[in-house]
Amino acid sequence: MKSGSNLEKVLAAGHFAVTAECGPPRGANPNKVLEKAEHVKGNVDACNVTDNQTSVVRMSSLAGCILVKESGTEPLLQMVVRDRNRIAIQSDLLGASALGVRNLLCLSGDHQKFGDDPQAKNVFDIDSIQLIYLAKMMRDEGIFPSGDKLEGAPKFYIGCAVNPFADPYEIRVARLKLKVDAGADFVQTQCIYNMDIFKQYMEDAKKQGLHERVKILAGVTPLKSAGMAKFMNRMVAGIDIPEDVIKRIADEPKEKQAAKGIEMCIEQIQEVKEMEGIAGAHVMAIEWEEKLNEIIGGAGLLPRPAVEQ
Amino acid sequence: MITGTPKPIEEIIEMLEPYDNIIVAGCFGCVTVCRVGGDKEVQILSSTVRLAREAAGKKIKIKEVCLERQCDPEYVELMRPYVEDYQAVLSIACGAGIQFMAEKFSVTPLLPGINTGFLGVTERQGEWAERCQGCGDCVLHLTGGICPVTRCAKSIFHGPCGGSVHGTCEVSKNVTCGWQLIIDRLKSLDQMENYAKLKPYKGWDKSRDGGPRRIIREDMI
Amino acid sequence: MLPCTGRIEESLLLKAFENGADGVMVIGCLEGDCHYVNGNIRARARVERVYNILDQIKIGPDRVRMYNLSAGEGAKFAAFANEFVDQVIELGPSPINVARKHEVQESPQEVET
């Protein structure tokens, strides 16, 4: 075991893994995290805690991870390179590992212009792929990037995100390969709605044998309404929701759209579960964590397997 | 060239409040080419300041000069014989030129008349765009001649990030994705193998992060 | 002698105001009819810049204006000139001239030449 995390063990045992995410609150109230963690508990193998997503300032990801851990769910630390130089990154990795966080997701981070402080200075000292090999070097070789020996290596199951729908398509798999080469153990994808493109992406990834080198968790997000679908499609960079998917939810009367969204999400999890090379699902029920049990249970993925800790 | 934009005239008038006898100094270097700090701009700015001040009942005298370059000592020294006859110098050279004059003329306040921009190119008349951040460790031979540090909003070395859509950057529809450009160029050069390589951490110590930089050419000293 | 409005610099227009003009009209050839291809188009852009400067420094943007005429349009020239003069009369003397007059009244002995 590289990290000994629950997520790593579930995947190593060949189970179809399930992860979800909790966005920390815009304030110092720990109860907001604990409430979300209650909805997550028992439904997932690990729970991502986001790191100032869309550059909107929130409680720190590490603090959120500790709260999630205390409430009984294994946390997965998201870390963006937008706000930290390599000194802060190494230090935070050591701290996170010391506090028992065993999963790490390496991200670039949205540009600061989207958030509270568009006038902030960004860092981008290293990029997300360099963060992968930095974490791997610290874990596997027990040394800092400077070459100095660590007094205790941080133990992380190292992940990355991929967006099969971003442009240009022809390098999306090449970039996944870079991440695998850098040392990623698992991948969580951007929310998938366009299954045609995603299937093509997986075919291309499989041709290079990437599905055998990295655990791929397919990202899904339940749509709450036709309005949300249209908004995401138009406004969120890298989200591709085909017309027929929007139509399916838009054809429902307003009060039934949420239920339809959940039904479609469940179908989608079941569809990806059957695909070769997909090792799990990452269910991003954004500000809708109370539906996780219904979605994951509906997909036949409960109870979550207990692996020897 | 080094580009810049004029400071708002209100800001300049406010800066000049304490003075009634100044030099407006331009530069025949980069700022002339990008039409922000040459002799024509010296004349326009001087007239503008004089008109504004006189209309406000506070006349100001201005000596108009334009140096060959404000960043070379031999030209800056040409002002030494008369600079102390004036209360201040309003310079419309880049930040380097303004500072160099400030270093040379210790008792004369130096005021910036422009906001210095970036190292860029003229894409067409009246439109300039950034191309180089002077990071001190050029990788253009590996990236199809397009700079990831400058052209990518996140300066990443393994792009593009997930925010690249139809060749544009997530920062703005008006910003081209630098990594899309790099990939297009690598493809047309048949050098996509460069894309597939993992790049080492960048040494930002060679950029401004290493502190103010200096180049010494022993053979020229 | 200006061979073309394209030779008019912004500073020349501003100088006119410094020298006491209450208004400046720039008359170029008809657009599309420039002997130097686009001299009058350049002039228009420069007049526009001066217009904005005069606005920013509260001299009044409407004291400068560009017209386009052919050499054979004498009557139209007269009409434009009368129109512009009326406009400037309505605006009154430029703030520069107001300030100078004020100065002369306050200290008649110290007038510089």
Report domain extents, chain C: 5-110
In this model, does residue A193 exceed pLDDT 50?
A: yes
Same domain (yes/no): B94, B153: no
Task: Report the C-alpha gap between C70 and C4 in whole angstroms.
Answer: 13
| Alpha-carbon B168 to chain mean position | 25
State the pLDDT confidence band at B162, using cuts at 50, 70 and 90. confident
| Last residue of one domain, picked from the residues B60, B91, B118 | B118
pLDDT digits (tens, 9 = 90+) for A3-22: 999 999 999 999 999 999 99
Distances in Å between the Cα of C92 and the Cα atoms of A253, B176, B202, C21, C62 are 67, 50, 64, 11, 11
Q: Has residue B23 been placed in a domain?
A: yes
**Closest to C14 (Cβ–Cβ): which among B8, B10, B44?**
B44
State the pLDDT confidence band at C102, using cuts at 50, 70 and 90. confident
In this model, does residue B98 exceed pLDDT 90?
A: yes
pLDDT digits (tens, 9 = 90+) for C50-91: 999 999 999 999 999 999 999 899 999 999 999 999 999 999
Residue B148: domain span: 135-210
Q: Has residue B130 been placed in a domain?
A: no
What are the counts of helices (DSSP H) followed by strands (DSSP E) for chain B?
8, 9
pLDDT value at position A166?
Answer: 85
Which residues of chain B lie closer than 8 angstroms to C94, CB-CB? Answer: 55
Distances in Å between the Cα of B102 and the Cα atoms of A6, A146, B30, B198 are 63, 40, 19, 45
In this model, does residue A23 exceed pLDDT 60?
A: yes
Cis peptide bond N-terminal to B8, omega within 30: no
State the pLDDT confidence band at A287, using cuts at 50, 70 and 90. confident
Q: Has residue B220 been placed in a domain?
A: no
> How many angstroms away from the CA of A304 is the closest CA of chain B?
31
User: Across residues A53-71, what is the average pLDDT?
Assistant: 97
Q: What does the mean pLDDT of chain B come to?
A: 96
User: Across residues B100-122, what is the average pLDDT?
Assistant: 97
Q: Has residue B50 been placed in a domain?
A: yes
Determine contact, residues A48/A217, Cβ cutoff 8 Å: no
Which residues of chain A lie closer than 8 angstroms to B171, CB-CB? Answer: 111, 113
Name all chains with 3 or more CB-CB pairs below 8 Å to chain C.
B
- Provide the strand spans (E) within B80-188: 88-91, 110-112, 114-124, 127-132, 168-169, 172-176
In chain B, the number of structural domains is: 2
In this model, does residue C112 exceed pLDDT 70?
A: no
pLDDT digits (tens, 9 = 90+) for B35-85: 999 999 999 999 999 999 999 999 999 999 999 999 999 999 999 999 999
Substitution target from B139, B150, B170, B194 for chain A, most A beta carbons within 10 A = B170
Which residues of chain A lie closer than 8 angstroms to B196, CB-CB? Answer: 174, 177-178
Which residues of chain C lie closer than 8 angstroms to B55, CB-CB? Answer: 57-59, 94-96, 98-99
Residue B19, domain CATH: 3.40.50.2300
Q: Has residue B216 been placed in a domain?
A: no
User: Across residues B103-116, what is the average pLDDT?
Assistant: 97
In the numeric block, which tokens belong to residue A140?
A: 């596997």
Nearest to A202 by CA among A267, A279, A133, A300: A279
pLDDT value at position C111?
Answer: 47
Chains C and A, touching by 3 or more CB pairs within 8 angstroms: no
pLDDT value at position C2?
Answer: 83
Same domain (yes/no): B153, B74: no
pLDDT digits (tens, 9 = 90+) for A129-166: 999 999 999 999 999 999 999 999 999 999 999 999 88
- What number of other Cβ atoms are within 10 A of residue A72's Cβ? 11
Same domain (yes/no): B158, B204: yes
Same domain (yes/no): B107, B152: no
| Alpha-carbon B219 to chain mean position | 28
Task: Report the C-alpha gap between B132 and B115 in whole angstroms.
Answer: 18
DSSP summary character for residue B120: E
Same domain (yes/no): B23, B54: yes
Answer whether C10 touches B (CB < 8 Å).
yes
Cis peptide bond N-terminal to A303, omega within 30: yes
Q: What does the mean pLDDT of chain A come to?
A: 96
**Three-state secondary structure readout of chain A:** CCCCCHHHHHHHCCCCEEEEEECCCCCCCHHHHHHHHHHHCCCCCEEEECCCHHHCCCCCHHHHHHHHHHCCCCEEEEEECCCCCHHHHHHHHHHHHHCCCCEEEEECCCCHHHCCCCCCCCCCCCCHHHHHHHHHHHHHHCECCCCCECCCCCCCEEEEEECCCCCCHHHHHHHHHHHHHHCCCEEEEEECCCHHHHHHHHHHHHHCCHHHHCEEEEEECCCCCHHHHHHHHHHCCCCCCCHHHHHHHHCCCHHHHHHHHHHHHHHHHHHHHCCCCEEEEEECCCCCHHHHHHHHHHCCCCCCCCCCC
pLDDT value at position C107?
Answer: 62
Given an 8 Å threshold on Cβ–Cβ distance, is A178 in contact with B201?
no
Domains observed in chain A: 7-298 (3.20.20.220)
Q: Has residue B128 been placed in a domain?
A: no
Share of chain B above pLDDT 90, in %: 97
Given an 8 Å threshold on Cβ–Cβ distance, is C53 in contact with B50?
no
Share of chain A above pLDDT 90, in %: 94
User: Across residues B155-169, what is the average pLDDT?
Assistant: 92
Q: Has residue B219 been placed in a domain?
A: no
For chain C, what is the radius of gyration of the CA atoms? 16
In this model, does residue C108 exceed pLDDT 80?
A: no
Share of chain A above pLDDT 70, in %: 100
Q: Has residue B43 been placed in a domain?
A: yes
Same domain (yes/no): B43, B73: yes
